[in-house]
Amino acid sequence: MLTLDFHPTGRHFLQIPGPSPVPDRILRAMSLPTIDHRGPEFAALGLQVLKGLAQIFKTRHPVIIYPASGTGAWEAALANVLSPGDHVLMYETGHFASLWNKMATRLGVKAEFLGLPGIEGWRRGVQADMIEERLKADTQHTIKAVCVVHNETSTGVTSNIVSVRKAIDAARHPALLMVDTISGLASADYRHDEWGVDVTISGSQKGLMLPPGISFNALSPKAIEASRTAKLPKAFWAWDEMIETNRSGYFPYTPNTNLLYGLAEACDMLLAPEHGGLEAVFARHARWGEGVRSAVKAWGLQIQCADPAVYSPVLTGVMMPEGVDADAVRKIIYDRFVSSWPA
């Protein structure tokens, strides 16, 4: 029988940027028996989670739920709006931006990678002026999309998406704006419609407090329009049948039912007016993030993010001093606080 190395206190102890600790309420909801995804009970569940997600993404347009983990949602965003050989502009904020760039290249897209030189690129958010300048130079409008990461899990930097939107507008460029907020959604302020994002990519195992396994594309009408003529092959990731079938609460193919149970519960928790809704969630993260940074500074350590304006409220990267081995530090933390009685 499957066992798990529970912490001696009888709780599982996981305190990393993701997967986040999954609340008991959600684990309990996920252990309800699997229902028929073609039956009437399911439609009610489908409509419920789609409505909740729209509130969380702050959009009036479709949100696609993939029964696949976050990497799939990256691919879906690219595959639905691009054609083989298309040119996209991506911005290097850290490890995850680099992985997305690598994927775009693998899919046959010409992925230009912009960024500050050297280590500075991984210590500051997206430099919107660099994007504006590059787009202005693209007088033929060969660039089809601008791709940025909102909250970089590898560095603890939350880029300013509004500034990127303004840069595109200032350049009077028709490129789509695509934003990965896998680790930012439901933890840091995010507004799909108001900020003019065309495709937002997110996943389940961070701010939504779920296990991994489902991921999302929030769309704009302009993105949907672009998907009608894009030529990259797609079936599982295709938006068209999803949008159509979702109208009645169903999915064109088998959904991830038990994770949707968890998602319904997570939406209830995040949006509950009696707890203050998303604003209270953001305020709490902001406050705790400030506390963590104060502690790091008091210990005499340096924060990875070099620009206070873009400190992530969700996670704080800490730079190890010269001569200190990061792996050794992690091992000490693990031994003292995870694997043994905190005596």
Q: Which of residues 220-239 bind a copy of itself (CB under 8 A)?
A: 232-236, 238
Q: Show the tokens assigned to 308.
A: 């206070």
Q: What sign has the CA pseudo-torsion 215, 220, 224, 230?
A: negative
Q: What is the Cα–Cα distance from 36 to 174, expressed in whole angstroms?
A: 43
In the complex, the smallest distance separating the C-beta of residue 27 from a copy of itself, rounded to whole angstroms, is: 5
Number of residues that bind a copy of itself (CB under 8 A): 83
298 binds a copy of itself (CB under 8 A): no
Q: What is the Cα–Cα distance from 98 to 104, expressed in whole angstroms?
A: 10
Nearer to a copy of itself, 258 or 302 (CB): 258
Binding pattern for the stretch 185-204 against a copy of itself, x by CB under 8 A and - elsewhere: ------------------x-
Nearer to a copy of itself, 70 or 94 (CB): 70
| Cβ atoms 192, 57 nearer than 8 A | yes
Binding pattern for the stretch 103-142 against a copy of itself, x by CB under 8 A and - elsewhere: x--xxx----------------------------------
In the complex, the smallest distance separating the C-beta of residue 328 from a copy of itself, rounded to whole angstroms, is: 16
Nearer to a copy of itself, 66 or 91 (CB): 66
Interface of this chain with a copy of itself, residues 34 to 53, rule: CB under 8 A: 34-37, 41
| Cβ atoms 267, 53 nearer than 8 A | yes
In the complex, the smallest distance separating the C-beta of residue 237 from a copy of itself, rounded to whole angstroms, is: 8
11 binds a copy of itself (CB under 8 A): yes
CA-based end-to-end distance of the chain = 30
Instruction: Pick the closest to residue 246 from 57, 63, 41, 59 (CA basis).
Output: 63
φ, ψ (nearest 5 deg) of residue 178 = -115, 130
Nearer to a copy of itself, 63 or 281 (CB): 281
Query: In which region does residue 25 sit, left (phi positive, over 0), alpha (psi from -120 to 50) or beta (all else)?
Result: alpha
313 binds a copy of itself (CB under 8 A): no
